[in-house]
Structure 1
């Protein structure tokens, strides 16, 4: 059958089987029918595991093993109930039932591990907060009432194993939901199967397997989980469980915030519900859960603060840096010039500035293309930076123009540095430069203007040279340079 139709047929057949089961009379046929639905989900999981292999295939195989475990327990219980006529507890059937949880949890954690990204600490903390918060009602409603009243320690451990296994499975599901990754139809169906399974466990433990209105309604969540499991396995998107989301790791969505808030409020909510209803207060469980949640929430806030600080630093770096060459941009140049002016005036040291322009850059772009032009700019910026001293700063001024600030250098020393830069220019290209020495009075804009005029003179003199600016301040050049 075509894969695009198989999952629809399985889902429809499963829903029909669910209705048939509810109407069947109590007896071995109904229990065998129940076990067959679980085995069909296992068969679908093994089928997709054999087809996909790899990590996704392993995850489906683990889930299939979990379903085999619970179906084996169902068949064993059929024998105890309808053939042997006994009601043993604990029994080997309990071992088979409990085997489902480690297999399925391992599959969920395997998927979570391969779906997560390096910046996943926040998601890990979120899953820890949700798990810790949900553990409290599990303790109050399911675990604490099952403590005591058993004939032996072993009986007690088996009775507690079921709600504790639910907590472990819940932790695996929450971890999977907290990491990034595409929410494919198969992923959503698998999530619903886990929720249905956990719901069935809660109902079964709470009612001790009793029928409701004479119908086995408590079994329907388990059957629904098997149907959803098989449907998820047969859906064409089952192979995409490790697909990444275009949104990446969610930073902190409103839905996530509301979920965490609701979970954190479970502790005081549990205490309030017990006070209103007159039940015995679970003081220690609420106190311990509240303390754990407080620590986890503070850790989450700290993680958010660090992420905000990192992003602020990145934004500041982007604002100060030329995106193409990685050099300081014009904004950074203006700030650095102001600092160097103050230092030169205070210490009485020289301050030289050079305007550098790649020769015939437009012709290079027209001949080799704009990508080659970008590579020339980035290569020149890297090569020139390697010959600079510790206090020198090279900034991109715009286009193919750069400004070199050289605090503490005399003009002769500055010319020697520019000569070294000319020798390092890549792709056998050349540049012209105008060099100006601060006269101790002029503004930064005037110093830049004098260097710019000297650069224009270097272009007019034949390019591939350095020209010193005069002390005078003539007007701007009358034509463009290349």
Structure 2
């Protein structure tokens, strides 16, 4: 049968079974139907495990074991209630019920580990904040009232086991929801199934198994979790639980911020509710939870600040760097040239500047394509940079033009450096250059202008040469003729 229809049939059949369950009178038939729905969910999970294999198959197998444990508990309770005529607490059925939680939590942690992204540290902190905040109402409403009042240690352990298992399962669910990954229909159905399970536990524990017309209040959420789990396992997207989201790391959205704010306010809100209701406030649990939340929130803020600083650094790097060649751009050139002016003026050392232009670059682009032209520009930038000294700076000025700032070099030394650059120019290409020496008075823009005029003269003279700018030494230098 087509998988796109199978899960719908299972879901509709499960909802129909829930309706029949509500209409059936108390008796073995009703409880047998209850157990059958759970076994159907377990069978669907095992089927997905066999069909998918790998890590996702293991996750489905763990969830199937959890559902099988709960269904076994249902069958044992059917025996106690309708065959043996017993109402034991605690019993072996409770052990099987509790087995559901470690298996399902292990599946959630397995999925979380495989869905992790590079920005997962923030997701871990977010899940820790949510878990710590929700633990307080669990403690006050469900865990603390179950401490004491039991005849045996086993009874005490079982009574505390349910709310504690809920906390562990909730932590696993929050962890899974906090990390990245695609929110497929199967993933959403699993999430709804676990929320149904948790709500059923809260209702059952807080109402101490209260009934309406002979129907326990927590039964319908438990049944719904079975149905949703089976539908998730049979859905065509069951194999995509490990698929990462195309958006990458989870973004710190306004919704996430509001969720964290609401969770953090649970601690003072719990104490305020107790005071308003006239109950004795849970001072120590509130104090410990508040301190833990404070530390976690500060850690989250520190992580956000670090990420903002890193993004600011990257933006600054992008603003100062030419994206194609990786060289400093014109903005960085202007700033560096101003600093070199101050240094040269202070210590009296020479400062040379060359304007470099790849010869016949347009013809190269037309002949080989723009991608080849880009490779030539980036290759030339890399080759020239490797030949420079420690204080020299090569920047991309625009198009196929580059500017070389040479602090501490006189004209002859600068010409020798340019000759070494000519040797390593890739793909047999040549360049023309205009060379200018700072006269100690002119502005950076004037120095660049003189170098640009000299570059124009080099091109007019036949290219593949270095020409000294007027004011440095008229005409081409003897060593700058065509190689």
TM range (shorter): over 0.9
CA distance in 1, matches of 2:216, 2:202: 15
How far apart are residue 460 of structure 1 and its match? Answer: 2.0
- Cα shift readout 1:94-124 (whole Å, capped 9, x = no counterpart): 2211111111111111111111212211111
- Aligned CA-pair RMSD: 1.4
CA distance in 2, matches of 1:171, 1:198: 12
CA distance in 2, matches of 1:345, 1:337: 12
Aligned residue runs from structure 1 range 43-58, under 5 A: 43-58=43-58
CA distance in 2, matches of 1:230, 1:149: 38
Q: Is the 8 A contact 2:90 2:155 kept in 1?
A: yes
TM-score normalised over the length of structure 2: 0.96
CA distance in 1, matches of 2:362, 2:250: 44
CA distance in 2, matches of 1:305, 1:213: 56
User: Where in structure 1 do 4 or more consecutive aligned residues deviate above 3 Å?
Assistant: none
Q: Is the 8 A contact 1:22 1:216 kept in 2?
A: no
Aligned to 1:477: none
How far apart are residue 143 of structure 1 and its match? Answer: 0.3
Aligned to 1:393: 393
Instruction: Classify the secondary structure of the residue corresponding to 2:355.
Output: strand
Aligned to 1:411: 411
Is 1:11 aligned with 2:11? yes
Aligned residue runs from structure 1 range 105-124, under 5 A: 105-124=105-124
Stretch of structure 1 that moved more, 167-176 or 46-55: 46-55
Q: Is the 8 A contact 2:7 2:234 kept in 1?
A: yes
How far apart are residue 473 of structure 1 and its match? Answer: 11
CA distance in 1, matches of 2:46, 2:415: 75
CA distance in 2, matches of 1:188, 1:444: 62
Instruction: Classify the secondary structure of the residue corresponding to 1:432.
Output: strand
Instruction: Classify the secondary structure of the residue corresponding to 1:379.
Output: helix
CA distance in 2, matches of 1:402, 1:471: 21
Instruction: Classify the secondary structure of the residue corresponding to 2:188.
Output: helix
CA distance in 2, matches of 1:213, 1:471: 105
CA distance in 1, matches of 2:243, 2:419: 53
Gaps of 5+ in 2: 475-483
CA distance in 1, matches of 2:213, 2:278: 29
How far apart are residue 472 of structure 1 and its match? Answer: 7.6
Aligned to 1:311: 311
Aligned residue runs from structure 1 range 174-213, under 5 A: 174-213=174-213
How far apart are residue 217 of structure 1 and its match? Answer: 3.4
TM-score normalised over the length of structure 1: 0.96
Q: Is the 8 A contact 1:354 1:404 kept in 2?
A: yes
Instruction: Classify the secondary structure of the residue corresponding to 1:118.
Output: coil
Aligned to 2:432: 432
Instruction: Classify the secondary structure of the residue corresponding to 1:340.
Output: helix
- Cα shift readout 1:294-351 (whole Å, capped 9, x = no counterpart): 1111111111110110010011001000011111000100111111111111111100
Stretch of structure 1 that moved more, 361-370 or 81-90: 81-90
Stretch of structure 1 that moved more, 53-62 or 269-278: 53-62
Aligned to 1:375: 375
CA distance in 1, matches of 2:419, 2:176: 60
CA distance in 2, matches of 1:15, 1:397: 70
Aligned to 2:125: 125
**Alignment: residue pair count:** 474
Instruction: Classify the secondary structure of the residue corresponding to 2:406.
Output: strand
Q: Is the 8 A contact 1:11 1:228 kept in 2?
A: yes
CA distance in 2, matches of 1:71, 1:20: 18
How far apart are residue 90 of structure 1 and its match? Answer: 2.4
Is 1:173 aligned with 2:173? yes
How far apart are residue 363 of structure 1 and its match? Answer: 1.0
Aligned residue runs from structure 1 range 469-480, under 5 A: 469-471=469-471
Aligned residue runs from structure 1 range 187-336, under 5 A: 187-336=187-336
Aligned to 1:365: 365
Aligned to 2:477: none
- Cα shift readout 1:50-77 (whole Å, capped 9, x = no counterpart): 1111221111111111101100111111
Aligned to 1:70: 70
How far apart are residue 262 of structure 1 and its match? Answer: 0.6
Aligned to 1:2: 2
How far apart are residue 8 of structure 1 and its match? Answer: 1.1
- Cα shift readout 1:343-364 (whole Å, capped 9, x = no counterpart): 1111111000011111111111
CA distance in 2, matches of 1:216, 1:148: 24
Q: Is the 8 A contact 2:210 2:217 kept in 1?
A: no
CA distance in 1, matches of 2:88, 2:37: 24
How far apart are residue 246 of structure 1 and its match? Answer: 2.6
CA distance in 2, matches of 1:274, 1:90: 31
